[in-house]
Structure formats: structure tokens, C-alpha cells
Chain A
Amino acid sequence: MTINQISIFLENKFGRLSEILSILRHENIRVIAATVADTSDYGILRIITTDQQKAFQKLIENKVSANMNEVVAISVDSCIGQLSETIDKFTQSGITIEYMYCFSFNQKSILVLRSSNMAQANEVAQKNNLNTLSEAELINF
């Protein structure tokens, strides 16, 4: 299964990140995952929240340039070689990974991954019995 991730176009303007996050805070939406990479003129802020539909709607209402797309969130036990093994499953099936972010805590790791063909990526995850999380499972992790 896949989950919704919100991607936000962020101008490289001082304070913009704070402005966006305060919109979510104001709407009582909890941010579960967030990432933004460094670029010169602009960045893409990717977030997963406790209520993606509401978050998306509120962002749009506040004239934020946002859209939603699918990613897959996989949970594995945190130990040596886990990340490598998991990614290998995709590589062996010919799937390119556009981007990913992951983090470990309490002996568990969560890997969020985006591929150019999400349907295929999802299939690979199912076939290999990877533990893909739903939005609800991710929120309550």
C-alpha cells in the first residue's frame, strides 16, 4: 500500500519554512515526517502529517503551491544490513528510486520511498513481504 505525501514548492526566502509550518500548527495538524533538501532558488518541502487531506486543503487555502503524491512507507527491524537488503529488493526488480528518507529509533526503522513507478514499487513490496505502513499505522507508530 502507498500513502500520501504532500510536496510543497518553497521559495528560498527567509522565514518561508516557518510560515508554512505555522499554518499546520494553527490547524492542529501534527507533522510526522518532513524533509527539504538544499537548492539555490527554491526547495521542495515534503511532509507527512496526521491528516493529509486536511493539511493539503488548508495549505491550498493559504495559497501555498502544494500537491500530493504517493510514497511507500516501509518498517523494518533496525539492524545492520536492513536498509541495504530492503533497497536491494527494489534494485533487483529494476525499480529506480527517485528519493527516499529514513530514520531509526527504538530498534525500528522507517523508510519512506518514492519511485517513478509507484504501482510497480508497491507490487515489489508486497511480493517481498515488506511491512508497508498505512497512514493510520504510521501516525500511531
Chain B
Amino acid sequence: MASTEYWNEELETMSRPNLEKLQVERLRKTVEIAQNSPYYSEVFKKNNITPESIKSLEDLQRFPFTTKEDLRSHYPFGLVSVPMEKVVRVHSSSGTTGNPTVVAHSQRDLDQWADQVARCMYMVGCRNTDVFQNTSGYGMFTGGLGYQYGAERLGAVTVPAAAGNSKRQIKFIMDFGTTVIHAIPSYATRLAEVFYEMGIDPRKDTKLKIFCLGAEPHSEEQRQRIEQLFGIKAYNCFGMSEMNGPGVAFECKEQNGLHIWEDFVIPEILDPVTLQPVPEGEVGELVLTTINREAMPLFRYRTRDLTRFIPGECPCGRTHRRLDRFKGRSDDMIIVKGVNIFPIQIERILMGFKELGLNYLITIDTVSNNDEMTVEVEVGEDITISDYTKLQNLTKEITRQLKDEILLTPRVKLVEKGSIPQSEGKAVRVKDFRKNH
């Protein structure tokens, strides 16, 4: 077997029987902790779940599912399982209309998260001699601090560039000798474009070695294009704020599936309708149970992401199963520029304008390497369209409110009543023309 370096060899190459034993132990411990959360103590009572009753992984079937709605309706701290004195950080999703989702972390959780991200970065070749640049948004976005602490744990030189300002990103890459970079796939292509516009060939003129791509689903074609543009390897990374953030699953050097860390979560792939396990290797909804988190454990959390386990063993020697590239979602959430957006967020804002009608259409397209969202909305009965200034101000105000809510600036287009085609059944609210979706 080819020699591979592991951040934590014992855990990463643990035999399946031992790994499963570890999972049961940790599941039991997690139930013990979660008894302290108002939400889960109810759930456990209703379903006769006690730490002692957890004997095998089959016992997971006795747990009901946790959904995003459960997190929202117990906002902010209904699922927190430790005293608030132990919580040292909260992350929250966007959403000012209606409750966002909040995840709380203890110091131990943060340390474990950092270690896990370090493990992922080490797996694809990042070392403490590397210079790591993070182009993810910081603040509440978990891609910011998540990678930050993971890269520091690894010991790399970290450049917390945060999002945007491509010329500045490039200056850092050139001046600091960045070797490892994290970006969303749509930004990676944009960055390459700016490089070439500036007359710099990233393949020859930079020290870049490794690209970490995350926060957005992307195709194999898009990954390969990024690899060609930069002349380096680009690795697919999966994370979600409910499971900390980045570091939940990561490709190894084989680039054939993302190892999901089974010492951190128990993953299940279930039919999104029947919620029963699908036959091995088939696509279903990824459902995750945290087994190494104390402030806010989650049991059988429905991610709504559709994927499958890639059967067989990975040549890298890691025994944690691999997830395939995500196929889509079992809900209507969309991701634009790495930001999660639900059409209902947009709808709620539009409904607040008496000048507007009920029909709208969200289209997403790639325009010169930039993903753009356009919101077309029909004018209503109440619109006074007698002057341009009023219409322009209306458009501006709609744009401003949308931006505050979804954290992205869409292009807002007022259209005539009845001009958006109506469908027979469920309204089509989103049309995604991006090539990779």
C-alpha cells in the first residue's frame, strides 16, 4: 500500500468494527449530554431513549429526525445541552425575516472542530510550512473561522483575506507566497480571470499548490477546469454550519469521493420520502448524528443534501466511508456564491411591498464568470407607475431589503402583470441556468 501521511493515523485508519464500537460509545455519551437540552429531553422521554438503552448502531433508528424547522422553532438556544457559561461561540445562518438557525459551541467543540479541519487539510497535503489564504467570508460564515482555526492548528501561515477584492487577493498570493487557498468554486474561476487580466499566469508565477473548494456544489468538469486554470490539484470539501462548518467530509488525494469523518458523525443515507435506508450505493438524503459535540448535539439531522456512499475501500487507507459528489437537494434551497438561500426568504420580502404582485421568478446565471441572481417580480394593482423616479426608488428599496436578508445583491427587475409564465402545478420559482447545476 502506498505510504500516506495521516494527521491522526489511529482514527483515520481504524478498522470498521472498532470504528463502529467507538460510534456506539460516543452516541451513548452524546445522549447523556443531550438530556440537558430542553428540546432533546422531551424527545428522549417521548421515545424512551436513555444512554443505557444505546447498545448498537441499530438503536439510532429509535431516534426521530431533527430538521431545520426544529432549530428555527427553538431559536435561539433550545437545543443547547450545556450551561450557557460553557458556550463560547454562536454561528447563525442568514435570515432576518423569520428565525435563522443558530449553532452554539463550547471551547472543547471549537478545539475538536479545528483539529478536524486540520486533519482534512493535512490529508490533501497541507503542512505547517505552507501559507494558507482563506477567501471565505468571515464573521457568521463558518467557512471563515472554521478554516482559520483549522489552519492555525495545523501550523500554516494563515492569511485571513476574507471575501472579495480580487486584486488584493492576488497581491497577497504573490507577496506572501500563498501555497494553499480556500475558495468557493465560482470565485476560483473569477480569480483566475483576474489573474489573466493582470497578465499573471497563476500556473507559473505563483507558489500555489493546493485548492480547497467548498460551500457550493460543483461538477467534476468545473473542478477540472479550476485545476487547469491554476495548474494545481483542487479538492472538494463539504461542510455545513449545523455540523460546525467546513471539515465534515473532504476528498483525499485520490479525488474519488469525500471521506466523511465517522468519529465525528454517524452518517445515514435515507430515502427522503420513506426515510428508510436506501440499498447500498444508491442515492438518498444525507442524515447526520453528531457524536463528538457537547454544546449542541444533533440527532438524525436531515441535511436535505442528496448523495450516496461510494462502495468499496479507498486506496488511501482511510476507513471512513466516502460520499459521492452531491446530486442536489430534497428541498428548494439554492446556493449562490456560497450563500444558502431559500426562495421563501425572497418571497416574504416581495410580499411586503403593496406595489408588487404575487408572481416572481428567480433566475441564476453565470455572467462573465460571476454567478448572478435576478429577481423578476410582477407589478401589482397598487403600483403608481406614473414616474420613473418612483419606480427606480421602488427597485432600489426592494434590492436593499433583499440584500439585507439573503446577504447577496440580486438584480431586481419589475415586469408586467401576467408576464411570468404560470405553471399548472407547483409554482416554479427558481430557474438555474448555471452550467454546473
Contacts and interface: CB of A to CB of B under 8 A. Distances in A.
Given A9-B379, A65-B379, A44 B418 contact: no
Given A7-B386, A8-B385, A42 B419 contact: no
A82 B414 CA distance: 39
Interface residues of B, number: 15
B388 A65 contact: no
Interface in A13-34: 13, 16
Nearest to A13: B419
- Residue in A39, A41, A44 with the greatest tally of chain B CB atoms within 10 Å: A41
A104 interface: no
Contacts of A65: 379, 383, 385, 416-417
Contacts of A67: 383-386
Contacts of B414: 9, 41-42
A7 B383 CA distance: 11
B386 A69 contact: yes
Contacts of B418: 63
Contacts, number: 47
B187 to A, nearest CB: 28
B387 A44 contact: yes
A11 interface: yes
Nearest to B416: A11
Contact of B388 (A39, A64, A69): A39
B413 interface: yes
Contact of A44 (B388, B413, B419): B388
Contact of B416 (A9, A39, A99): A9
Contacts of B417: 63-65
Interface in A46-102: 63-67, 69, 98-99
A10 B416 contact: yes
Contacts of A7: 385-387
For the residues of A in contact with B, the DSSP-based class is: strand
Contacts of A69: 384, 386
Nearest to A9: B385
B430 interface: no
Which among B385, B386, B416, B418 has the highest number of chain A CB atoms within 10 Å? B386
Interface string B365-389: 0000000000000010001111110
A63 B379 CA distance: 11
A99 B418 CA distance: 29
Interface string B403-415: 0000000000111
Nearest to B384: A67
Contacts of B379: 9, 65
Given A9-B416, A11-B416, A13-B419, A98 B384 contact: no
Nearest to B414: A42
Contacts of B391: 9, 42, 44
8 contacts: A7-B385, A11-B419, A13-B416, A42-B415, A44-B386, A66-B385, A67-B384, A67-B385
Given A8-B385, A9-B383, A63-B417, 12 more contacts: A7-B387, A9-B379, A41-B414, A42-B391, A42-B415, A44-B391, A65-B383, A66-B385, A67-B384, A67-B385, A67-B386, A99-B387
